[in-house]
Amino acid sequence: MAAPNTGTTPVRQNVTGLPFQPKAVIFFSAAISTNNTSTQAILEMFGCATSTTAQFVVANADDGNVSTTNAGRISRYGTECICLASNGTPTIDALAKFVSFNADGFSIDWTDLPSSTGLIVHYFAIGGTDVTNATCVQVTPNTTTSGGTQAISFGFQPDCVLTVSPAVPSTTGVVDANICIGAATRLPATKQYASFWFDNDAATATDAAVYSTTQRMGAMPSSTAIKDSDYSLTSWDASGITITWNDAVASTTQQVYMLALKGGQYDIVNVTAATATGNQSVPVSFQPSGLLMFGSGELTDTDTTASSATTESMFYVGAADSVINQGGVVYNTVDGSTRGPFRRNSNTLFWQQITTTTGTSAAASSVTAMSGSAVTLNWTTANTTGRKSAIVVFGSTAVAAAAPARLMMQPMIGA
Give the angle subtended at the CA of 317 by the CAs of 316 and 322, to the nearest 5°. Answer: 140
Q: Is residue 108 part of a domain?
A: yes
Kindly tell me if the per-residue pLDDT of 408 is higher than 80.
no
The answer to whether 152 and 161 have CB atoms below 8 angstroms apart is no
Report the distance separating Cα 173 and Cα 41, nearest Å.
17
Report the distance separating Cα 384 and Cα 28, nearest Å.
28
Which residues lie below 8 Å from residue 375, measured CB to CB, with a gap of 6+? 269, 281, 282, 284, 288, 291, 367, 369, 391, 393
Per-residue pLDDT tens over the stretch 94-123? 999 999 999 999 999 999 999 999 999 999
Report the distance separating Cα 283 and Cα 267, nearest Å.
11
Report the distance separating Cα 393 and Cα 327, nearest Å.
16
Report the distance separating Cα 306 and Cα 285, nearest Å.
30
Q: Which residue has better confidence, 339 or 252? A: 252
The answer to whether 86 and 43 have CB atoms below 8 angstroms apart is yes
pLDDT category of residue 204 using cuts at 50, 70 and 90: confident
Per-residue pLDDT tens over the stretch 251-286? 999 999 999 999 999 999 999 999 999 999 999 999
Q: Which residue has better confidence, 142 or 334? A: 142
Kindly tell me if the per-residue pLDDT of 375 is higher than 80.
yes
pLDDT of res. 404: 41
Residue-number span of the structural domain to which 61 is assigned: 11-409
- Which strand ranges, in their side-by-side order, compose the sheet holding 227-237? 149-153, 240-247, 227-237, 218-221
Q: Is residue 187 part of a domain?
A: yes
Strand partners, 313: 333
Q: Is residue 188 part of a domain?
A: yes
Q: Is residue 4 part of a domain?
A: no
- At 27, the amino acid letter reads F
pLDDT category of residue 312 using cuts at 50, 70 and 90: confident
The pTM (predicted TM-score) of the whole model is: 0.94
Q: Is residue 5 part of a domain?
A: no
pLDDT category of residue 194 using cuts at 50, 70 and 90: very high
The answer to whether 231 and 243 have CB atoms below 8 angstroms apart is yes
Q: Is residue 414 part of a domain?
A: no
What average pLDDT is seen over the chain?
93
State how many domains the chain has: 1
The answer to whether 195 and 211 have CB atoms below 8 angstroms apart is yes
For range 375-392, the mean pLDDT: 95
Furthest-apart CA pair in the chain: how many Å?
A: 64
Per-residue HEC secondary structure of the chain comes to: CECCCCCCCCEEEEECCCCCCEEEEEEEECCCCCCCCCEECEEEEEEEECCCCCEEEEEEEECCCCCCCCEEEEEEECCCCEEEEEECCCEEEEEEEEEEEECCEEEEEEEECCCCCCCECEEEEEECCCCCEEEEEEECCCCCCCCCEEEEECCCCCCEEEEEEEECCCCCCEECEEEEEEEEECCCCCEEEEEEEEECCCCCCCCEEEEEECCCCEEEECCCCCEEEEEEEEEEECCEEEEEEEECCCCCCCEEEEEEEECCEEEEEEEECCCCCEEEEEECCCCEEEEEEEECCCCCCCCCCCECCCCEEEEEEEEEECCCCEEEEEEEEECCCCCCCEEEEECCCCEEEECCCCCCEEEEEEEEEECCCEEEEEEEECCCCCCEEEEEEEECCCECCECCCCCEECCCCCC
For range 303-317, the mean pLDDT: 87
pLDDT of res. 335: 77
pLDDT of res. 398: 53
The per-residue b/e assignment along 373-391, b for 16 or more CB within 10 angstroms, e otherwise, is eebebbbeebbebebbbbb
The answer to whether 396 and 404 have CB atoms below 8 angstroms apart is yes
Q: Is residue 3 part of a domain?
A: no
Q: Is residue 326 part of a domain?
A: yes
pLDDT category of residue 356 using cuts at 50, 70 and 90: confident
Strand partners, 387: none
Categorise residue 147: left if φ over 0, alpha if ψ from -120 to 50, beta otherwise.
left
The answer to whether 209 and 306 have CB atoms below 8 angstroms apart is yes
